[in-house]
Amino acid sequence: MKAEEIIQAMAEQGMRITDQRRTLAELFAKSEGYVTPKAVYEIMGKTYGGLSFDTVYRNLRIMHDMGVLEQFVFEDGIKFRARCSEMDHHHHLICLQCEKTIPFVFCPMDEVKGLPDDFKAVKHKFEIYGYCKDCQK
Q: Which residues are annotated as a binding site for Zn(2+)?
A: 95, 98, 132, 135
For the annotated binding site for Fe cation, the residues are 89, 124
Three-state secondary structure readout of the chain: CCHHHHHHHHHHCCCCCCHHHHHHHHHHHHCCCCECHHHHHHHHHHHCCCCCHHHHHHHHHHHHHCCCEEEEEECCEEEEEECCCCCCCCEEEEECCCCCEEEECCCHHHHCCCCCCCCCCCCCCCEEEECCCCCCC
